[in-house]
Amino acid sequence: MVTVDDRGNLITRSRLPVANGLDELLNSRSTLRITGRIADFSGLRARAARLSFDTTEDSKLHALTVSVPGLLLSTPQFKVQSHRLMFDTANDTLTGSETLAIEPDGTSTTIKVSEVYQDFNGVTYHVGRVTKIDRHIPRTNDISGYGMHPVQANISNLREITKEEIEEIRNNGGQALEFDPVLGDPSSLDTSETIQEIFPDVQVNADLNDADFAAAQ
């Protein structure tokens, strides 16, 4: 915490153990062990309380949410509006995170990360994560060149025309023209991306013996 006297732009008091505690808290994701369980989960709770971060807990769902002030994570190119870490208090694991950030041009980015675990013989292992990135760009695309191209929200809205219907249109003096459909809003520059990082086959030394490992030289 830094206290500033705005009358003279002078720092009147500063207390900066925050950075260390913040690093330890945020590293709960980057330093996930293969076993998934956070070794010092009670210590993590204590750090969040010491940093005076907003926390909410649902004892029935065994869910703990820690909100980290975006100001602590912002950069000149990326203003973080909010950052939340979600934990499973029954298994002492990090279940995911959610970040909302604003870029200088007004583009807003929401990043949702879901950690993936798998149980092996009663032990929870971290086997990957799924990241979804949604970007809302406050500009629109010029769609004047789309002309007669049909616009549909999604491909399921398209109905396949039958040969009989095509023949009827032609017999009535009409034309049946073929266009590639435009899916979604062509004027929108928004993007959505999902990244899956999951180990498809995890084996935990099930059939290995000490003899399978060479001694260190």
For residue range 101-160, what is the model confidence (pLDDT) as tens digits?
A: 998 889 999 999 999 998 887 888 888 899 999 999 998 888 776 665 667 666 776 777
**14-23: average pLDDT:** 41
pLDDT at 217 over 70: no
- pLDDT-derived band at 10, boundaries 50, 70, 90: very low
Among all chains, which residue has been given the structure tokens 């004027």? 187
Among all chains, which residue has been given the structure tokens 């203003």? 79
pLDDT for 148 equals 59
Phi, psi of 112 (to 5 degrees): -115, 125
Residue type at 26?
A: L
pLDDT for 111 equals 92
Quick one: which H or E segment has residue 18? helix 18-30
Among all chains, which residue has been given the structure tokens 């100001």? 71
Separation between Cα atoms, residue 97 and residue 108, nearest integer Å: 17
pLDDT for 121 equals 79
**179-186: average pLDDT:** 72
Q: Which of 203, 188, 82 is nearest to 143 (CA)?
A: 188
- pLDDT-derived band at 211, boundaries 50, 70, 90: low
Separation between Cα atoms, residue 13 and residue 134, nearest integer Å: 40
Residue 180, both tokens? 């590639």
Partnered with residue 151 across adjacent β-strands are: 182
Predicted model pTM = 0.67
